[in-house]
Amino acid sequence: MTEAPQKFVGGGVPRKEDPALVTGQGNWTDNIKIPGMLHATILRSPYAHARITSVDTSAAREQPGVVAVFAGEELADEWFKNPIANPAAVTGYSLSLDKRAQGGADVTPTADQTGEEPVDEEHKTFLGWHVTEDIKVPHHPPVAIDEVNYAGEPVAVVVATDRYKAQDALEFIEVDYEPLEPVLDLEAAVQEGAPLVHESLGTNESYVWELDVGEIEEAFNNADVTVKERYIQQRLIPNAIETRGTVAHPDPVSGGFTVYSSTQIPHILKAVLSEYCGFAENKLRVVAPDVGGGFGSKLNVYAEEALTLVLSRKLGVPIKWVEDRSENYLATIHGRGQVQDIEVAATNEGKILGMRVKLLADMGAYLQLNGPGIPILGAFMYPGVYEFDAYSFSCTGVFTNKTPTDAYRGAGRPEAAFAVERIIDALARETGLDPVEVRRRNFHEPFDEPKDQPAGIQYDSGNYQQTLERVIELADYEALREEQRRRREEGDTLQLGIGFSTYTEICGLAPSQVLAALRNGGAGWEMAKVQMLASGKVEVITGTSPHGQGHVTSWSQIAADALGVDVDDVEVLHGDTAIAPYGRDTYGSRSLPVGGVAVHVAANRVIDKARKIAAHMLEAAEGDLEFEDGRFSVAGSPDQNVTIQEVAGAAFLADNLPEGVEPVLSEEYFFDPPNFTFPFGAHICVVEVDTETGFVKIRDYFGVDDCGPVVNPTIVDGQLHGGIAQGVAQALYEEAVYDEEGNLTTGSMVDYLIPGAPELPRYTLERTVTPSPTNPMGVKGVGEAGTIGSPPAVINAVVDALSPYGITHVDMPASPWKVWQAIQDSQGRDAGTRDADRSGRPAQATDSTEQEGGTS
Ligand code: MCN
């Protein structure tokens, strides 16, 4: 378990990454310039669903600076070639570089270089998570060939000497489309006779995934109370601050290719690209330079990454493609997109007996890397922090003619947490109990060893009572209820709402065996290598790939504490498969509980080896040595000592090592933990709802979270702040909206409402510490916790404020229009009988000057 005391771990070490990032010294993909580099732009479908009857690229080819133009058909045999032993030699890159550097408008594509037959059409997909054996997987060419299935799908690509010329030439490509009926609504899509997204699959259902634990029928038969609700998880657009981008170039030194990409997953990208594009894995190097956020959207392998690479192979020159913001809205995955039917059975005392969940999950037009698996990550989390016996879950993955969906911060778990935390409030309403009381009655008792939960997995540790009781104190719940009562009585047009969320989530995505059992295609371990150089300076090589999470700082703290060196003496190297050939990258709040822990163990292995050398240097027995603050000393003779730096120097010189000890201090460790980690917390959102305008203002936000011991409190605060902001955004502001033809009508930041600082409250956050038994540091992840915990707290608060009107739900985003409309509907529905008058105020309103129907 956690080894204390620590000098840096747990302290607010300033982020080492920030000085460069905030002074414009970042190295983003779009900053990369390589001699002879050409620029690609992509023509995208204006139709959600259409047959392509012809593509004429001839006029575009004639445009100034244009080097090549390809329609989908012309690239069809680039995918799944057999591995080429020395691809750069085949392209003749080293010979043609000079010519291309001069402007290169005369580059002609080289002929197909492999001669091997392409594999079966149906295998052409980026999908890495086949959630069921019989999942239906559509063919997904990076550039559409005969059919387009969402507005924004690539149809042709232009390569030119600069970005602007490439962009201008797009207008000269003539495409004839034969429009087909788009499939847009999830429920309609699964009706008999619905038009099909992919005719060849014969259905819009990609898969049905089910989980049944315990006697669900019995639970519902024995219930005093059942509550059934439907919630809609609107589609969200991730909007990382840096859009996607990629540069691929033949590497004359290695004879292979290098791909730079604004990605969260250089290692996975390398593996998938090598297979998809036909490269021996050791002939591809993938580098993730500085990456300006991802929020899950860059946990993917995209058409444009494959396209840039094969264009570079085909043309034999470096190729850059950088997404613009409009493309980002259309062509980078979306998140959420679910219809959730949830039902609980309970006793009159509010004790839950069972839960049924049925989902329709929008896959969009194609299956991206993890798309089908996202709702399955949530499948285990609908029971939340509550103990009961019977659980039944079923999810149908549905194709629609919309942008594909995949992981977006929280990925499946915000959806689950929302549904369970909303239905707990519904149960409270039904049983006449306070929402706090229902939660208390159903919590698992505190536990610090693995414990079975209703969905059949084991939680690692938890103390839900502690976080809830503390957040109640922090928010002064009683005083808030008192204020609410007073405002209701006074008929205040600003009604107070208090919303709870007591969430847990599954993160630290790891155990390889469990991921495999869920049919996920990737391993879940993580690698770290810690090496002390001859000078005593330290390098940490990690397989994680940060894009805003501060791993350089956190891993430095962990290594510095273990080695007893200064935090500034540690360099952290990441995001380059040539430096860290092994890694499973960053997502699922896994980096600390898997990758950070690997750093901790590898650094301790360095100390174990250093101890042997130090004992030899001090002519003492190993067991007599003490190690503190970077110095080995002989117990009882503190003057006999040697620093870790001196040991590193001796290990490097290797002229006086103990028998059997190899030179240098360099140790690596692959950590594959026995379980996920399950952080948890209790949040209270306090809103003021303007009953005249429907405007919701978050007045206060309180959170008590538990992610085990904290490595860097400043980073954890930042993760929670950003995470809660994204949850609030889902609850109140953001939604990807399509019109009836399948056009994305929220295709820019003007229409898609991303909250800024003025919309967000000041957070009051505290933490409790319940260590996880799944790793030697006891840590749990925190990168998604805020996004998972916050949406139900906000909506519960909004509904709480509106409860005097008989309003029991408002769909997300709870925009002023929806809230106002809900108030109007409630009055129309029950005019005169509800405890609210038509002015939009509760019945107790005393302001007699208000006119009938006087709302605006
Ligand atoms: N940390 C800590 N102590 C803990 C837990 C975490 O000090 N007990 C620190 C870690 O050391 C690390 C950071 O918090 O520096 C996040 O660690 P972790 O929870 O392991 O999450 P990951 O690093 O794996 O990050 C992934 C997670 C996910 S899944 C999304 S989505 C997300 C997020 O992190 N996207 C982000 N945070 C983001 N932050 C930024 N700025 N940009 C994104 O795109």
Q: Could you report the per-residue pLDDT of 332-375, keeping only the tens digit for each?
A: 999 999 999 999 999 999 999 999 999 999 999 999 999 999 99
In this model, does residue 854 exceed pLDDT 80?
Answer: no
Q: H or E stretch including 538?
A: strand 538-542
**Whether the CB of 295 sits within 6 Å of ligand 1:** yes
pLDDT digits (tens, 9 = 90+) for 308-320: 999 999 999 999 9
Ligand 1 centroid to residue 529 C-alpha, Å: 20
**Closest C-alpha among 444, 409, 432 to residue 790:** 409
Residue having the nearest C-alpha atom to atom 33 of ligand 1: 783
589 lines ligand 1 (CB under 6 A): yes
pLDDT value at residue 596? 98
Residue 117 has pLDDT above 50, yes or no: no
> How many angstroms separate the alpha carbon of residue 508 from the centre of ligand 1?
10
Q: What is the CB neighbour count within 10 angstroms for residue 651?
A: 24
Residues in the chain: 856
Band of pLDDT at residue 549, cut at 50, 70 and 90: very high
Per-residue pLDDT band at 448 (split at 50, 70, 90): very high
Pocket test for ligand 1, best of 555, 589, 724 (most atoms within 8 A of CB): 589
Q: How many helices (H) and strands (E) does the chain have?
A: 23, 28
> What is the tens place of the pLDDT at every residue in 389-421?
999 999 999 999 999 999 999 999 999 999 999
What is the model's pLDDT at position 521? 84
DSSP structure string for 394-408: EEEEEE-SS--B---
Q: Are 196 and 202 in contact (CB under 8 A)?
A: yes
pLDDT digits (tens, 9 = 90+) for 456-479: 999 999 999 999 999 999 999 999
3-state secondary structure 753-798: CCCCHHHCCCEEEEECCCCCCCCCCCCCCCCCHHHHHHHHHHHHHH
Q: What's the pLDDT band for 833 if we cut at 50, 70, 90? A: very low
Of the pLDDT bands very low, low, confident and very high (cuts 50, 70, 90), residue 123 is low
| pLDDT exceeds 50 at position 329 | yes
Q: Which residues pair with 703 in a beta bridge?
A: 683, 765
Can you give the pLDDT at residue 544?
98
pLDDT digits (tens, 9 = 90+) for 198-218: 999 999 999 999 999 999 999
Q: Is pLDDT above 50 for 266?
A: yes
Q: With a 6 A CB cut-off, is 778 part of the ligand 1 pocket? A: no
- pLDDT at site 438: 98
Ligand 1 pocket test, candidate residues 374, 544, 549, most atoms within 8 A of CB: 549
Q: Is the pLDDT assigned to residue 256 strictly greater than 70?
A: yes
586 Cα nearest atom in ligand 1: 24
Contact 428, 437 (CB under 8 A): yes
Q: How many CA atoms lie within 13 A of 306 on its CB side?
A: 28
**441 C-alpha vs ligand 1 centroid, how far in Å?**
32
Nearest one of 184, 179, 183, 177 to 195, comparing CA atoms: 183
Q: What residues pair up with 258 in beta bridges, in sequence order?
A: 249, 285
**Model confidence over 267-310: pLDDT tens digits?**
999 999 999 999 999 999 999 999 999 999 999 999 999 999 99
Residue 80 banded pLDDT, cuts 50, 70, 90: confident
Best CA proximity match to 501, nearest among 683, 342, 698, 765? 683
Residue 813 preceded by cis peptide, ω within 30: yes
Spatial neighbors of 681 by CB under 8 A, at least 6 apart, are 467, 502, 503, 703, 704, 705, 706, 785, 789
Residue 645: per-residue pLDDT = 98
3-state secondary structure of 597: helix
Strand pairing of 352-364 and 335-346? Answer: antiparallel
Q: Report CA-CA distances (Å) from 197 to 8, 51, 139, 402.
A: 54, 11, 12, 10
pLDDT given at position 82:
63
Q: How far is the CA of 549 from the centre of ligand 1 (A)?
A: 5
pLDDT tens-digit profile of 81-104?
Answer: 766 555 555 444 433 333 333 333
Which atom number of ligand 1 is nearest to the Cα of residue 508? Answer: 20
pLDDT tens-digit series, residues 487-532: 999 999 999 999 999 999 999 999 999 999 999 988 999 999 999 9
Q: What percent of the chain has pLDDT over 90?
A: 89
Alpha-carbon distance 285 to 295, whole Å? 24
Residue nearest atom 35 of ligand 1, based on CA coordinates: 295
Give distance in angstroms: CA of 659 to centre of ligand 1: 43
Q: Which two tokens stand for residue 117?
A: 């037959």
Burial grade of 289 (CB within 10 A; 0-12, 13-18, 19 or more): buried
Q: Is the pLDDT of residue 764 over 60?
A: yes
The span from the CA of 592 to the CA of 775, in Å, is 10
Question: Looking at residues 220-241, what average pLDDT do you find?
Answer: 98
Residue 547 near ligand 1, beta carbon < 6 Å: yes
Tokens found for residue 792: 């139900």
Decide if pLDDT at 845 tops 60: no
Counting residues of the chain whose pLDDT is more than 70, the rounded percentage is 91
Q: What is the pLDDT of residue 254?
A: 83
Across the range 608-614, mean pLDDT stands at 98
What confidence score (pLDDT) does residue 786 get?
Answer: 98
Query: How close is the Cα of 835 to the center of ligand 1, in Å?
Result: 46
